Amino acid sequence: MKFTGKTLIQVILLIIQFTAAKGQVSLHGIVSDSTSNKNLPFVNIGIRHKNIGTVSQRDGSFNLTIPSENNADTLTFSMVGYQDHKSAIRDLPDNVNVKLKPKTEQLAEIVIKSPLLIEKKLGESNYRALIQFTDGSTNQKDIFEIAQLIHLDTALSKVTSVNLYISTSRADSGTFRINFYGYDGRHPTTRIYDKNITQTHAIKKGWLTFDLKQYSIYLKGDIVAAIEFIPNSPVNKPINYNIKVVGATKSFYRASSQGDWRLPPHHYVLYVTALAEKTSK
Task: List, for residues 111-148, the tens digit of each pLDDT value.
Answer: 566 667 889 999 998 877 566 666 555 556 788 999 99
Give CATH 2.60.40.1120 domain extents, the chain. 5-100
CATH class of the 5-100 domain in this structure: mainly beta
Residue type for position 60: G
For Cα atoms 24, 34, 64, give the angle at the middle one, nearest 5 degrees.
15
- Quick one: pLDDT at residue 12? 44
- Quick one: pLDDT at residue 50? 87
What's this model's pTM, rounded to 2 decimal places?
A: 0.84
Going by DSSP bridges, is the β-strand pair 157-166/270-277 parallel, antiparallel, or unpaired? antiparallel
Other beta carbons within 10 angstroms of residue 279's beta carbon come to 10
- Count how many residues are written for the chain: 281
Give CATH 2.60.120 domain extents, the chain. 117-277
Torsion of CA 77, 261, 42, 91, to 10 degrees: -20
CATH level 2 (architecture), domain 117-277: Sandwich (2.60)
CB 163 within 8 A of CB 269: no
**All residues at 6 or more sequence positions from 50 whose CB lies less than 8 Å from its CB, including other chains:** 70, 73, 258, 259
